[in-house]
Amino acid sequence: MRMKFIDARQLSQEAQEAVRKRAVTLVLAGEIHDKMARVSGVARGTGSRWVATYRTNGESALNKKRRGAQTARASNFNIEGTEERPKADSR
Where does residue 71 rank: exposed (0-12), middle (13-18), buried (19+ CB within 10 A)? exposed
Parse the chain into domains and list their residue ranges. Answer: 25-59
Residue ranges of E strands in 4-79: none
Q: How much is the pLDDT for 84?
A: 59
- Give the pLDDT of residue 21: 93
pLDDT score at 33: 92
CB atoms < 10 A from the CB of 31, how many? Answer: 15
pLDDT, averaged per 10 consecutive residues of the chain (91 residues), comes to 70 89 94 91 91 92 76 59 61 58
Q: What is the reported pLDDT for 76?
A: 58
